[in-house]
């Protein structure tokens, strides 16, 4: 049975611009006439970067479509995968992430009454979880664990090998109809799809967003050097310096690989959500005239046709990043608990 018009609009809002790995749980809930809920998870390790804006914008779209979304702070996962960092530091980083993510969501206009934060360690020491973890391990081969990729593939310590089990069980202990994650989570999704049914659980639907490249090469990473990324608390001058410090001359160059996905997955969706106020997305064409854009596809067509020079997007893009970051910086400046959490979490 298909979806009615209203349900299809909700489904389309949830899945727009995502890789839909599976969608059965979402469609079933919509067919039943219920409200869809889901979650996005992150492990509190290094300082988050603006690549996180992609899932934050998707969360904003889901909330606007009537969903409730949980933010899964995987502190137990972070401790297992960053085994050279103490549990105390992981706890401070979890606080830092919670302050930052809440500020980001407020900055892009998300109704925070639809957001719930779940700290993983609140349930990972409970008897039901410990029993489920043991059952998952009994039904998992070493090959299945290592096939998820990420840190698990190259792990020489035992602890990272438990991470796929923890993430798979988050689907049981957080619940909802879907899990949102980056495209680097596809191995984790495959593991959950394969092993959860063996212990009597149904996996949630799995959705994957694009991973934003770094300013120079590779994906933008929380653990990478500052010049390779934009961080949420960077000053306007730092944002400008880092973005002007890469080549904007080619459509396949470093700036384009970072900027175009950010325009497609963040700037234009925020514009359509009304999160940018009265600001328009304006660029100067090669003939000297200016043009307002309402869709990414239109902008991309003009770039490919040579009507719009990519380098002319630089001031618009820098202004956009700083517009989003401005209320986050302001909130940080007045929040002493957040500042203390940062100091204790990242003493370097």
Residue 348: CB partners within 8 Å, gap ≥ 6?
A: none
pLDDT of residue 165: 97
CA distance 239 to 328: 14
Per-residue pLDDT of 63-74, as tens digits, reads: 999 999 999 999
Per-residue pLDDT of 185-200, as tens digits, reads: 999 999 999 999 999 9
Q: Mean per-residue pLDDT for 211-220? A: 74
pLDDT of residue 338: 98
Lowest mean pLDDT among 32-36, 80-84, 105-109: 80-84
Confidence of residue 46 (pLDDT cuts 50, 70, 90): very high
Q: Are strands 205-209 and 178-182 parallel, antiparallel or unpaired?
A: parallel
End-to-end Cα, the chain, rounded Å = 56
Domain boundaries, the chain: 5-209, 236-346
Give the residue with greater pLDDT, 228 vs 34.
34
Over 60: is that where the pLDDT of 147 sits?
A: yes
Confidence of residue 217 (pLDDT cuts 50, 70, 90): low
Q: Mean per-residue pLDDT for 223-229? A: 59
Over 60: is that where the pLDDT of 224 sits?
A: no
Q: Which CATH class is domain 5-209?
A: alpha beta
Helix axes 87-107, 336-345, angle to 10 degrees: 140
The CATH architecture to which 236-346 belongs is Orthogonal Bundle (1.10)
Query: In 171-286, which ranges are E strands?
Result: 178-182, 205-209, 281-284
Over 80: is that where the pLDDT of 225 sits?
A: no
pLDDT of residue 1: 60
Lowest mean pLDDT among 208-222, 242-256, 307-321: 208-222
pLDDT of residue 247: 87
Per-residue pLDDT of 240-295, as tens digits, reads: 999 998 889 888 888 899 999 999 999 999 999 999 887 788 898 999 999 999 99
Instruction: Tell me what the pLDDT averaged over the chain comes to.
Output: 93
Instruction: Give me the DSSP letters along 283-342.
Output: EEBTTS-EEEES-HHHHHHHHHHTSB-GGGGHHHHHHHHHHHHHHHHHHHHH-HHHHHHH
pLDDT of residue 252: 82
Q: Mean per-residue pLDDT for 116-125? A: 97
pLDDT of residue 19: 98
pLDDT of residue 348: 67
Enter the DSSP assignment of 210: P
């Amino acid at each position: 049975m298909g979806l009615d018009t209203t349900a299809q609009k909700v489904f389309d809002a949830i899945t727009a611009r995502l890789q839909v790995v599976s969608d059965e749980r979402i469609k079933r809930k919509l067919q039943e006439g219920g409200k869809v809920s889901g979650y996005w998870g992150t492990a509190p390790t290094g300082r988050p970067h603006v690549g996180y804006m992609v899932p934050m914008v998707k969360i904003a779209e889901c909330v606007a479509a009537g969903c409730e979304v949980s933010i899964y702070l995987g502190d137990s996962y972070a401790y297992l995968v960053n085994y050279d960092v103490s549990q105390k530091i992981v706890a401070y980083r979890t606080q830092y992430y919670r302050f930052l993510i809440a500020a980001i969501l407020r900055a892009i206009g998300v109704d925070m009454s639809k957001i719930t934060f779940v700290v993983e360690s609140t349930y990972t020491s409970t008897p039901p979880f410990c029993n489920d973890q043991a059952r998952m391990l009994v039904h998992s081969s070493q090959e299945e664990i290592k096939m998820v990729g990420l840190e698990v593939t190259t792990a020489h310590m035992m602890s990272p090998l438990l991470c796929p089990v923890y993430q798979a069980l988050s689907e049981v202990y957080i619940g909802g109809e879907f899990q949102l994650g980056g495209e680097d989570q596809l191995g984790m999704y495959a593991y959950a799809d394969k092993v959860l049914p063996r212990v009597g659980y149904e996996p949630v639907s799995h959705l994957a967003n694009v991973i934003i490249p770094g300013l120079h090469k590779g994906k933008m990473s929380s653990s990478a050097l500052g010049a390779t990324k934009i961080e949420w608390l960077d000053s306007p001058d730092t944002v400008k310096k880092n973005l002007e410090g890469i080549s904007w001359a080619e459509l396949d160059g470093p700036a384009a690989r970072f900027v175009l996905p950010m325009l497609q997955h963040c700037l234009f969706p925020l514009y359509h959500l009304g999160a940018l106020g009265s600001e328009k997305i304006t660029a100067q064409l090669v003939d000297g005239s200016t043009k307002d854009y309402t869709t990414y596809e239109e902008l991309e067509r003009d770039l490919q046709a040579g009507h719009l020079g990519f380098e002319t997007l630089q001031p618009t893009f820098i202004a956009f990043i700083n517009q989003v970051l401005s209320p986050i910086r302001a909130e940080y400046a007045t929040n002493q608990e957040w500042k203390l959490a940062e100091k204790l979490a990242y003493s370097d």
